[in-house]
Structure 1
Amino acid sequence: MKFRIYITILALSIIGFQHLMGQGSKISGFISSEEGPARFVNISNLNSSFSTMTDTAGYYKLSNIPEGTYDLQITGVGFETLTKKVVVAKDASSILNFLLTKGNNTLNDVVVTGTLKAVRRTDSPVNVEVYTPSFFKKNPTPNIYEALQNVNGVRPQLNCNVCNTGDIHINGLEGPYTMVLLDGMPIVSALSTVYGLSGIPNALVERIEVVKGPASSLYGSEAVGGLINIITKDPNKAPMLSTDIFFTTSKEYNADVSFKVNAADKASILTGINYFNFQNIIDKNHDNFTDMTLQNRISLFQKWDIKRKNNRQFSLAGRYMYEDRWGGDLRYDSSFRGGDSIYGESIYTNRWELLGNYELPFTEKMMLSFSYNEHEQDSRYGKTSYIASQKIGFTQLTWDKNAGNHDLLFGIALRYTYYDDNTPTTQNADMLKNKNAPHITWLPGIFAQDEIALSKKHKILLGIRYDYNSYHGNILTPRFAYKWTIDPENMIRLNAGTGYRVVNLFTEDHAALTGAREVIVANELNPERSYNINLNYIRKFFIKDGTYLAFDLSTFYTYFNNRIVADLEQDPNKIIYDNLQGYALSKGINLNMDISFPFGLQIIAGGTWMENTLNQNGVRTQQLLTEKFTGTWAVSYTYPKSNISIDYTGNVYSPMRLPLLSSTDPRSPSSPWWSIQNIQLTYTGLKKVEFYFGIKNLLNWTPNKGNPFIIARAHDPFDKKVKYDANGQILATSENPYALSFDPTYIYGPNQGIRGFFGVRFRIIK
């Protein structure tokens, strides 16, 4: 019934907006260069404040323009600025196409993640996927973690049914194999990967760059499966004021506000504030536990761009985040925190970060980068206490040098990690000393990279990195890349390299913290090593009627030694960690497709087939919580002669193997095919303001469908009624017929069903 009501509201709204709102004059068209569509090019008017940007296919649209004469200015990375005088008649619709020529302007909308150098994406020998805020606006979310659900091959994975913490999977590999960067700085890692990702607000994001495959030769440990670089806005080019506020019918409230201040001619200062609140207790699966955690979160961000002689770079940024979240028994409140009468999982997070870039005042291009963060966490998982503190300091000096056809990069880096908690992992060996022995890790490194232009069409990249880990010693990671530009519409990239990961499982694996299982480390854990190769092919088509098609096809293969595996199946009361006595494989095919039609329809779709297996003693098993196929799509259409657009987004996942407690566990051993789909309407007919509303999870899918329960023994979370035999194994009783213990790890998708949402964006450019 709810679904029909929402659809009726959407249909009536389309008709109402088209009839009630004024049309105004419009200009649209296609902007290109000799290499194809000019993506993310700015179109602005010198005489007033209206502006827009081309999409991924080079199309743009300006709406609601008053009658008059205007000077349109088109600016883009690597292009000469183009200015055209345009006469706009009353209530007219004009199609204006522009051809840009190559130039040397200094706009910074370029990729940096693949090579640590600012280059145009088409020139990078490493394939970098770029996602801008316009992509994520097709399905608005309160944080980056949720926004990534519509990126092909990237999946936000929930790890706990109670507190809803999670991590990011790339091509099926678990979260610890994904490095998350903020402006190129490795400050979102380890403890904060589990608890801090949800605190990154969308308001501060300029773009997100994704590299799939190992990047340890540039970024070191954790960049094994891939990396996500969240690049924040440049204060010089940010709007004077930008707000985005929305709420859902589930009573989620989110507000993003950013504003810019110019401090005379000395600096530009960008400030961002994000606030998210969800306090609505929902239990639609009737297990007397909250379906979603209740959250109260605030994040403050400020970035300074300080002007210097010769346009040398100097930027500083800082962020503070506080979050209070809890989930559990519907009767829970803070008075039960840490007790054994009413079960709840309560997490307080305090986190602050500082990062900066300073270009040294030399004729050579040398950049000093630095970051520091502290993450403090106070958690209770039932009666289990987990109190942790993490500090990470990082500094890096790079020298960017051109010598003939060699584009060289040299760098030295130092990373300091301090970690302390109240678990046995930091316990002092001398029990008589009543204090901890925090883990302190020093990781100095040196790296070199040579990008060689063999010819106009052929380019290779050679890279190598040496790190010394104060616990594990010497680590060497080489890298190779080759790019063949067949023509402007055909490109092939081949990348190969190695990766490594040093593990602190208590900061990476939430299952080790819930208190539902005993943690067993079978042997001393050695660093993981990986060997990767991937092949990428990009093909573009430009059809005479203005239709644009692009296909991005990649194959990947990664071989792991010393893979660290958490065994959840051997004993329902334990998590047993050990290096795999064998090898692990991750392989697959990834296809992205982008189609834009001149009549306003755009389709962005992708699919990934993958196989992630553990091979031990001649037995091959599929990795837990890893699908074999995933697909994503975003279909967008702008109605002709109106200011209304519609976005239909979604994803689909194939079955994945799930962690059962025993052979008698009645829950399904694998998930079904499942899909989250959303629809949104946006109205942009008012100057500086746009309204959007729609429906999330159209199919009303939740993981409890088809299962007798999701959380094992939610009615007895402290296992007070569980009986054991002489060997410590759980006995089947009339009260516990399946011989289970409390466990919240059986989760693979969000518990939140269908809901509506409404939002408004307001923006002042100058």
Structure 2
Amino acid sequence: MTENIPNYRGASAPYGLGYVPGPWMQSIQVSKGSSSVKNGYEAITGQINVEFKKPQLPEADWVSANLFASTTSRYEANADATLKLSKRWSTSLLTHYENETKVHDNNGDGFVDIPRVEQYNVWNRWAYMGDHYVFQAGFKALSETRDSGQERHGGMAMDSGEDLYKVGIDTKRYELFTKNAYVFNKEKNTNLALILSSTWHDQDASYGRKLYNVDQTNVYASLMFETEFNKQNSLSTGLSFNYDAYDQHYRLENKTEQPLTKAFDKEAVPGAYVQYTLNLDDRWMIMAGLRGDYSNEHGFFVTPRAHMKYTPNEYVNFRLSAGKGYRTNHVLAENNYLLSSSRKVNIAKDLDMEEAWNYGASVSSYIPIFGKTLNINAEYYYTNFLKQVVVDMDSNPHEVAFYNLDGRSYSHVFQVEASYPFFKGFNLTGAYRLSDVKSTYKGERMESPLTSKYKGMLTASYQTPLGIWQFDATLQLNGGGRMPNPYTLADGKSSWDARYGSFEQLSMQVTRYFRRWSIYVGGENLTNFKQKNPIVDAANPWGDNFDSTMIWGPVHGAKGYVGIRFNLARN
């Protein structure tokens, strides 16, 4: 979600965060487990909401800019400017350009290790802040080319007559939104709000001779009413409407003589919700919500969700959550990257709407130790799918099949994290997550492939007393997992190992602050870990064994970067 508007759906989902320039962001909120019914029926295991810089905020800079360059020849430029037109009106312009088009093939397999990407991104937004009426609107436009694939046959020089395997994705995306709110009573937070948004996403993608072109249109509307009866009781209710249309033209085989298949999918979902919140002296908080929606494709469905928080004292709080979620799966729009292999694609008819229950529990504690506070958080979430679209790369290693779940599919996730400021300016954070994710593939329950069993992280941050220098380091531990069932190559060897192993990655950054600008230098994957031979049968991309989708780790090694930030503050 972007500013509480559902965004980056369908064809844009695989690259969603790539369309969000970091310097544009003001904050990110992550909700785990089932979220509020206000935000829709789709969140099954959580939601990510990005808040962007807003021109109406008092702390908005007049001008800010960020220039970035890396050792992989990635260059990036970001700039934004804010103009206060009057006491009520303000506007801002945000721009972004990135270029990483140099060819990298460090492992010598003839395929580029890093996709070549060039992106233009611009956003103009407006805001009117009245005493009772608030208005925001914005228009965003994006153009991106993303190329990859073969540059030469192994270590051989490229011949102009060679038939090389190429991957190309050209994207044009436009977004328009408005937010309107009328405040009836500020003391009781009584307000009526209307959110309208529309996006058009045009993507033309080729994987060898396979093609997937899609024009995706989304229209979203939400009318919300909120009020607080008193300090203990509040109510939120509203109506929503979501429309998705996919105009698709595709060829799923490497046969140029095969005509394109045309398909048009559309889904309109009107809905309504009500949510009640009980607050008992900030010790007990209970939020219960219920929404009903009707899909022209899947009929009527009900989404119940509940959250509870208990804070017995200032040192600890407990949370419980339970809720249902639904999602319509558009298999080609969301998984077209799987076309970059020799696998045949088999899509079953009458795919179900995904349906799952999620249950969660967490405890957060704040323990005073030596005059400082040790923060410890432990959480557990269980997701049980009643219906699911299975992506099966196991039953036939030369095929990827999409069909309805017949059996169990679930995940158990446990995570614990701790943070402690050992001395002034220095903070150390550690986290560990353990996952058990399984699904049923043609009657056999197995671990979900390409899913790490565990992940760990250790982050250290230090800022000097005067705030002039900032030092950051992060060590990430990535556990091993199961690979899809392999097959035997012509030389008698297995196409890949049954499992992949664990690996570590280290990132570091040093920042020097000045009055109006700062400079930073850093590195990623400083442990220089690289997955060996990531592309199966790279020498024969048009053969029956070629597969470039079995990627579980970094393909490129260590990378360094340098950047400079500038801001002209309002005050």
Question: TM over 0.5, yes or no?
Answer: yes
Residue 610 of structure 1, CA deviation = 1.2
The residue that corresponds to 1:526 in the other structure is: 352
The residue that corresponds to 1:312 in the other structure is: 133
1:53-68 to 2 correspondences below 5 Å: none
**Is the Cα–Cα contact under 8 Å of residues 276 and 296 in structure 1 kept in the other structure?**
yes
Q: Compared with structure 1, are the counterparts of its residues 396 and 340 closer, same or farther at alpha carbon in structure 2 (3 Å cutoff)?
A: farther
**Is the Cα–Cα contact under 8 Å of residues 375 and 419 in structure 2 kept in the other structure?**
yes
- Which one of the candidate residues 350, 365, 373 is aligned to 2:199? 373
Q: Using the alignment, how far apart are the partners of 1:517 and 1:189 within structure 2?
A: 25
The residue that corresponds to 2:177 in the other structure is: 355
Q: Compared with structure 1, are the counterparts of its residues 619 and 516 closer, same or farther at alpha carbon in structure 2 (3 Å cutoff)?
A: closer
The residue that corresponds to 2:12 in the other structure is: 192
The residue that corresponds to 1:15 in the other structure is: none
Q: Using the alignment, how far apart are the partners of 1:226 and 1:340 within structure 2?
A: 47
Q: Using the alignment, how far apart are the partners of 2:369 and 2:398 within structure 1?
A: 61
Ranges of 4+ aligned residues in structure 1 off by more than 6 Å: none
Q: Using the alignment, how far apart are the partners of 1:369 and 1:296 within structure 2?
A: 32
- Which one of the candidate residues 550, 562, 567 is aligned to 1:746? 550
1:188 counterpart SS class: coil
Residue 330 of structure 1, CA deviation = 1.4
Q: Compared with structure 1, are the counterparts of its residues 539 and 244 closer, same or farther at alpha carbon in structure 2 (3 Å cutoff)?
A: same
RMSD: 2.3
Amino acid at match of 2:169: I
Residue 289 of structure 1, CA deviation = 0.6
**Is the Cα–Cα contact under 8 Å of residues 376 and 388 in structure 1 kept in the other structure?**
yes
2:163 counterpart SS class: coil
Q: Using the alignment, how far apart are the partners of 1:343 and 1:438 within structure 2?
A: 29
Q: Which has the higher helix share?
A: 1
1:217-240, CA deviations, whole angstroms, 9 ceiling, x for partnerless residues? 333354112111011122123211
1:47-98, CA deviations, whole angstroms, 9 ceiling, x for partnerless residues? xxxxxxxxxxxxxxxxxxxxxxxxxxxxxxxxxxxxxxxxxxxxxxxxxxxx
The residue that corresponds to 2:26 in the other structure is: 206
1:388-537 to 2 correspondences below 5 Å: 388-404=214-230, 405-423=232-250, 436-514=262-340, 516-537=342-363
Q: Using the alignment, how far apart are the partners of 1:535 and 1:421 within structure 2?
A: 42
Q: Using the alignment, how far apart are the partners of 2:366 and 2:270 within structure 1?
A: 42
1:295 counterpart SS class: strand
**Is the Cα–Cα contact under 8 Å of residues 563 and 583 in structure 1 kept in the other structure?**
no
Residue 648 of structure 1, CA deviation = 0.5
**Is the Cα–Cα contact under 8 Å of residues 341 and 547 in structure 2 kept in the other structure?**
no
Residue 349 of structure 1, CA deviation = 0.4
1:710 equivalenced with 2:531 (yes/no)? no
**Is the Cα–Cα contact under 8 Å of residues 548 and 597 in structure 1 kept in the other structure?**
no
The residue that corresponds to 1:655 in the other structure is: 480
Q: Using the alignment, how far apart are the partners of 1:642 and 1:267 within structure 2?
A: 34
1:335-386, CA deviations, whole angstroms, 9 ceiling, x for partnerless residues? x9xx991111011000011122101365541110111000001111111121
Q: Compared with structure 1, are the counterparts of its residues 642 and 455 closer, same or farther at alpha carbon in structure 2 (3 Å cutoff)?
A: closer
- Which one of the candidate residues 120, 123, 141 is aligned to 1:298? 120
Q: State which drifts further: 591-600 or 382-391.
A: 591-600
Amino acid at match of 2:249: N
Amino acid at match of 1:211: S
1:441-475, CA deviations, whole angstroms, 9 ceiling, x for partnerless residues? 10001111000124441121111111101100011
Residue 480 of structure 1, CA deviation = 1.1
- Which one of the candidate residues 458, 467, 484 is aligned to 1:633? 458
1:289 counterpart SS class: coil
Amino acid at match of 1:476: V
Q: Using the alignment, how far apart are the partners of 1:192 and 1:634 within structure 2?
A: 31
Q: Which has the higher strand share?
A: 2
Q: Using the alignment, how far apart are the partners of 1:642 and 1:574 within structure 2?
A: 56
The residue that corresponds to 1:540 in the other structure is: 366
The residue that corresponds to 1:287 in the other structure is: 109
The residue that corresponds to 1:10 in the other structure is: none
Q: Compared with structure 1, are the counterparts of its residues 585 and 472 closer, same or farther at alpha carbon in structure 2 (3 Å cutoff)?
A: same
Residue 700 of structure 1, CA deviation = 0.4
Residue 616 of structure 1, CA deviation = 6.5
5+ residue gaps, structure 2: 253-259
Q: Using the alignment, how far apart are the partners of 1:182 and 1:377 within structure 2?
A: 21
1:507 counterpart SS class: helix
1:553 equivalenced with 2:378 (yes/no)? yes
Q: Using the alignment, how far apart are the partners of 2:549 and 2:295 within structure 1?
A: 32
The residue that corresponds to 2:90 in the other structure is: 268
Q: Using the alignment, how far apart are the partners of 1:619 and 1:365 within structure 2?
A: 52
Q: Compared with structure 1, are the counterparts of its residues 641 and 485 closer, same or farther at alpha carbon in structure 2 (3 Å cutoff)?
A: closer
Q: Using the alignment, how far apart are the partners of 1:446 and 1:642 within structure 2?
A: 49
1:300 counterpart SS class: strand
1:692 equivalenced with 2:520 (yes/no)? yes
Q: When the two structures are superposed, what TM-score results if normalisation uses the length of structure 2?
A: 0.91
Amino acid at match of 1:381: Y
**Is the Cα–Cα contact under 8 Å of residues 562 and 582 in structure 1 kept in the other structure?**
no
Amino acid at match of 1:493: R
Residue 511 of structure 1, CA deviation = 4.2
Q: Compared with structure 1, are the counterparts of its residues 754 and 479 closer, same or farther at alpha carbon in structure 2 (3 Å cutoff)?
A: same
The residue that corresponds to 1:324 in the other structure is: 145
1:313 counterpart SS class: strand
Q: Compared with structure 1, are the counterparts of its residues 222 and 624 closer, same or farther at alpha carbon in structure 2 (3 Å cutoff)?
A: farther
Q: Using the alignment, how far apart are the partners of 2:144 and 2:305 within structure 1?
A: 39
Q: Using the alignment, how far apart are the partners of 1:446 and 1:244 within structure 2?
A: 43
1:218 counterpart SS class: helix
1:721-736 to 2 correspondences below 5 Å: none
- Which one of the candidate residues 191, 201, 220 is aligned to 2:40? 220
Residue 597 of structure 1, CA deviation = 3.3
**Is the Cα–Cα contact under 8 Å of residues 385 and 409 in structure 2 kept in the other structure?**
yes
Residue 301 of structure 1, CA deviation = 1.5
Q: Using the alignment, how far apart are the partners of 2:374 and 2:309 within structure 1?
A: 21
**Is the Cα–Cα contact under 8 Å of residues 34 and 321 in structure 2 kept in the other structure?**
no
**Is the Cα–Cα contact under 8 Å of residues 553 and 592 in structure 1 kept in the other structure?**
yes
**Is the Cα–Cα contact under 8 Å of residues 506 and 513 in structure 1 kept in the other structure?**
no
Residue 502 of structure 1, CA deviation = 1.4
Amino acid at match of 2:528: N
5+ residue gaps, structure 1: 1-180, 426-433, 723-740
Q: Compared with structure 1, are the counterparts of its residues 379 and 639 closer, same or farther at alpha carbon in structure 2 (3 Å cutoff)?
A: same
Amino acid at match of 1:280: K
Amino acid at match of 2:552: Y
Q: Using the alignment, how far apart are the partners of 1:287 and 1:513 within structure 2?
A: 20
The residue that corresponds to 1:33 in the other structure is: none
The residue that corresponds to 2:497 in the other structure is: 668
**Is the Cα–Cα contact under 8 Å of residues 317 and 354 in structure 1 kept in the other structure?**
yes
The residue that corresponds to 1:130 in the other structure is: none
| Percent pairwise identity | 26
Q: Using the alignment, how far apart are the partners of 1:666 and 1:498 within structure 2?
A: 39
Q: Using the alignment, how far apart are the partners of 1:689 and 1:326 within structure 2?
A: 34
Q: Using the alignment, how far apart are the partners of 2:220 and 2:348 within structure 1?
A: 32
**Is the Cα–Cα contact under 8 Å of residues 220 and 467 in structure 1 kept in the other structure?**
no
The residue that corresponds to 2:257 in the other structure is: none
Q: When the two structures are superposed, what TM-score results if normalisation uses the length of structure 1?
A: 0.68
Q: Using the alignment, how far apart are the partners of 1:247 and 1:485 within structure 2?
A: 47
Q: Using the alignment, how far apart are the partners of 2:466 and 2:25 within structure 1?
A: 31
Count of matched residue positions in the alignment of Structure 1 and Structure 2: 547
Residue 572 of structure 1, CA deviation = 3.1
